[in-house]
Amino acid sequence: MSAVLQDQHTTTKDWLNDLFQVYEDGLNGHRDHPLAEFRRRAFRELQEQDFPTRRDEDWKYTSVTPMLKQPYQEGRPVALEAKDLESAVYPELNAVKLVFTNGVLDTRHSDLDELPEGLHILPVSQAMEEEETRRWIEAQVEQEGGTGKNTFLPLNRAFAGQGLLVRAERNAAIERPVHLIYLSAPGADPHFAHPQLFVQAKTGSRLILIESYRALESDSLYFTNAANWIELAANARVDHYRLQRESRAAYQIHNTLVRQDRDSTYSAYAADLGGKLVRNNLSTTLLNSNTQTNYYAIYLGNGKQHLDNQTFIDHAVPYCQSNELYKGILTDSARGVFNGKVMVRQDAQKTNAFQQNSSLVLSPRAVMDTKPQLEIYADDVRCSHGATIGQLDETAVFYLRSRGIPERQARNLLQQAFLGEVVDFMDLEPVAERVRALIEEKLREA
Amino acid sequence: MLHIKDLRVSVEDKEILKGVNLDINPGEVHAIMGPNGSGKSTLANAIAGREEYQITQGSITFDGQDLLDMEVDERAHAGVFMAFQYPIEIPGVSNATFLKSAINALREARGQEELSPVELLKLLREKARMLGIDESFLKRSLNEGFSGGEKKRNEMLQMALLEPKLGILDETDSGLDIDALRIVADAVNQLRGPERSFLIVTHYQRLLNYIVPDYVHVIYDGRIVKSGDKELAIQLEEQGYDWIKAEAVAG
Ligand SMILES: Nc1ncnc2c1ncn2[C@@H]1O[C@H](COP(=O)(O)OP(=O)(O)O)[C@@H](O)[C@H]1O
Ligand SMILES: [Mg+2]
């Protein structure tokens, strides 16, 4: 490691040490709490690891240096006003709302009481006090290694103090979506937030999760390092939405690890609109056959935004299906990265795996790096993958303009149509509508 | 209304129109005929403002304005409408969204209020019915998977909705069966009026049985080589284009 890198990582480790020390010092009588133990273990793990550099293959196009050099403060809660919540809450969803400001749960605005039957939501600190749930959480964490080392996971586990465990009981079809509203409010910036979710969808259950990230101030600086561990038991179905519009200066690393048992269906739907640097690590391990995995995502970057998607689907067992469609648009000096791995192991016969990444690069300074990777070791499978990078169809622009539609509007319509193909897959129509509106809003403001 | 003077147009540095002169007065219907590749679509596209068609010489004025100085959408606002020979398919943009955007963009440019969604829908339904277009068309993606005839009828629907001052039909008749041809002709005839003119580009005389033109021009090798009335179209139908070519070569 070069001296400069060494220095810089030392700086990062310094502020992380300081921050963890603040936590330790504040524990007082709770030093032996199982969550404190859990976090301490994670912090030790973190100390033994290095943050990735651009020499790591999976980080070739994304540098975490600017993100990690800030000495962040722990996010502090802010008293929200009604108007702050207005554009963040989607009343038409009738969701179970969980509101976090700067990473801290706001119980006043959250629906922790009167949950629908079969749905349990409890703080990780509490879950840790019960033998059974603690073991389940630890088991999730032990599986992380299977997807390759990711330093941001122990980082999340070391610092998250507000994590939640969401559980759908056996055969519970939970109709009301669970909406996690992560708000960044100006305050002690730059701040550090650690959204954390352990999701247990038991046999035959049905659960809809929506994560939305939003800044109340468009240029506040903070770092969100989110992590979700999601386990689907046999025949469970989880639909997982993520709507991201962080501030223009914000950093976000978003990690989701999914494990699926037989006959289960997991669908991820994501829209990345905000943020200065956003990196999504989404991976699924298939534990048993007949599963379905869907990843549908859009990214829309302008200015100097950097939006990076890494996905990994590990087909280790036969008769599983995966569909992956990522579409994005980059303008100005924005940069996009897609690195999609699909592994079809020798035993994964009769696998159906489809992967596509399509981008529009609309300015000479915008860049898209795409790397679809399909590794197949089984012989009786149906797999396809592809990547395209293109521009808007100018004859289509002309056609629209020749009907009196101004150029800007014509181009926006075509961009909306391009991304709309992904949005149309979103089953939950109110969310799809929100995403369409966000896309339109962003295209108009650009 | 439309005055074209000595218009020369090149595509990819190849000269296609080699000095076209044409005057269209309000209320007139002009037909442009000519063999394939003679420059008919080039003329239509140059008026509509397609960028690939470079104007190297000449002028086009429309209602006293310099048309060549206007953007594509401004030409539409001024009242120019071209029905495409090959309408573009645009997946993901619904026909209804497209038509609403076009109507409201035009109204805005003309200083009129936007139509409410209810008014719009009423208008769309009324005109669609007039053109024998099923309402389900409006929900579908613009021209995507439409048959040739459906695309052409969709062009006529747009024209009926946008009520241009000059409607240019670029081989709207080709590939249409007789019923569809009648619908297209009806649409044009209903729109005909003292202030509205048409330029009908066609390869065959057939359409001109239904839309009776005031003038017929024959374009050959980038020039209008003959003009006359509807009898000229009939003569072309009977005798083909060879005599025109021979005359043109003889000068
Ligand atoms: N976009 C284009 N690119 C290259 N050549 C073209 C293009 N459009 C027209 N041309 C050429 O210009 C000539 C006239 O074409 P066009 O105006 O389409 O004829 P018409 O409509 O009378 O059949 C033809 O030789 C054609 O090949
Ligand atoms: Mg033509």
pLDDT band at A125 (very low <50, low <70, confident <90, very high): very high
Q: Interior CA angle at A41 toward A143 and A137, to 5°?
A: 40
Of the residues A261, A288, A315, the one at which a domain ends: A288
The predicted pLDDT at position A9 comes to: 66
pLDDT of amino acid B217 = 96
In a domain, A35, yes or no: yes
Look up the domain containing A273 and give its range.
Answer: 3-288
Alpha carbon separation from A269 to A218, A272, A356, B214 (Å, rounded): 24, 10, 15, 59
A47 and A183 part of one domain: yes
| Structural domains of chain B in order of their starting residue, each with its CATH number | 2-87+163-250 (3.40.50.300), 91-145 (no CATH)
Strands (E), A277-399: 277-286, 292-301, 306-315, 321-330, 335-344, 352-361, 367-376, 382-390
* Ramachandran area for residue A307 (φ above 0: left; ψ -120 to 50: alpha; else beta): beta
> Whose CA is closest to A196, among A164, A232, A154, A151?
A164
Answer whether residue A326 is part of any domain.
Answer: no
Q: Could you tell me which residues are beta bridge partners of residue B146?
A: none
Cβ pair A164, A198 in contact under 8 A: yes
Q: Residue B44 Cα, ligand 2 centroid: separation in angstroms?
A: 9
Interval A241-258 mean pLDDT: 97
Pairwise CA distance, residues B156 & B130, whole Å: 10
Q: Is residue A282 part of a domain?
A: yes
Residue A401 lies inside a defined structural domain of this protein: yes
* A43 occurs within a structural domain: yes
pLDDT at residue B31, as a whole number: 95
The partner residues of A382 in beta bridges, in order of sequence, read: A352
What average pLDDT does the segment A246-252 reach?
A: 96
Q: Which range has the worst mean pLDDT, A16-20, A65-69, A141-145, A332-336?
A: A141-145
Closest CA to B209 of B240, B239, B178: B178
Q: Which of B7, B13, B16, B244 to mutate to test the pocket of ligand 1 (most atoms within 8 A of CB)?
A: B16
Question: For A147, which DSSP code?
Answer: G
Higher confidence at residue A383 or residue A84?
A383
ipTM, 2 decimals? 0.95
User: Does the beta carbon of B52 lie inside 6 Å of ligand 1?
Assistant: yes
Q: Is position A15 within any domain?
A: yes
Chain B residues within 8 A of A329 when measuring between CB atoms? none
In chain A, which residues have their Cβ closer than 8 Å to the Cβ of B106? Answer: 404
Output the pTM of the full model: 0.93
- Disruptive mutation site among A394, A395, A403 for chain B (greatest number of B CBs within 10 Å): A403
Low-confidence ranges of chain B (pLDDT < 70): 251
**DSSP 8-state assignment for residue A114:** S
pLDDT confidence of A6, banded at 50, 70, 90?
low
pLDDT given for residue A106 in this prediction: 93
- Token pair 């690590």 is at which residue? A281
For ligand 1, atom 7, name the residue with the nearest CA: B11
Final residue of a structural domain among A263, A288, A313 = A288
User: What's A117's DSSP letter?
Assistant: T
Structure tokens at A71: 């000495």
The alpha helices in chain B, defined as continuous H runs, are 40-48, 72-78, 95-109, 117-130, 136-139, 148-162, 178-191, 230-239, 242-250
Give CA separation, A400 vs A196, A254, A281, B14, in Å.
46, 38, 38, 27
Segment B4-7 long-range contacts (CB within 8 Å, at least 24 positions apart): B4/B47, B4/B58, B4/B59, B4/B60, B5/B58, B5/B59, B5/B60, B6/B57, B6/B58, B6/B59, B7/B43, B7/B46, B7/B55, B7/B57, B7/B58, B7/B59, B7/B60
Ligand 1 in reach of B86 Cβ (< 6 A) = no
Q: A interface mutation test: which of B45, B72, B110, B142 has the most A CBs within 10 A? A: B72
B73 to A414: CB separation less than 8 angstroms, yes or no:
no
Determine, yes or no, domain membership for A126: yes
Residue A404 to residue B106, Cβ atoms within 8 A: yes
User: What does the pLDDT look like over B239-249, one tens digit per residue?
Assistant: 888 888 888 77
Quick one: pLDDT at residue A7? Answer: 60
Q: Give contacts of A 401-420 with B, CB under 8 A.
A: 401-407, 409-410, 413-414, 416-418, 420
Quote the pLDDT of residue A90: 93
Read off the pLDDT of residues A134-157 as tens digits, 9 standing for 90 and up. 999 999 999 887 656 899 999 999
Number of domains in chain A: 2
Rounded distance, CA A199 to CA A167, Å?
6
Overall average pLDDT of the A302-323 stretch:
96
pLDDT at A59: 93
Task: Please determine, for residue A3, whether its predicted confidence score (pLDDT) is greater than 80.
Answer: no
Q: Does A318 fall in a domain?
A: no
CA distance B94 to B73: 20
Sorting pLDDT into bands at 50, 70 and 90, what band is A1? very low
- From B42, B88, B174, the mutation candidate for ligand 1 (largest count of ligand atoms within 8 A of CB) is B42
Radius of gyration for chain A, computed over Cα atoms and rounded to the nearest angstrom: 21
Ligand 1 atom 12: residue of nearest CA: B16
CA A140 to chain centroid = 17
Pick from A288, A306, A332: which residue ends a domain? A288
B83: phi then psi, degrees, rounded to nearest 5 = -80, 120
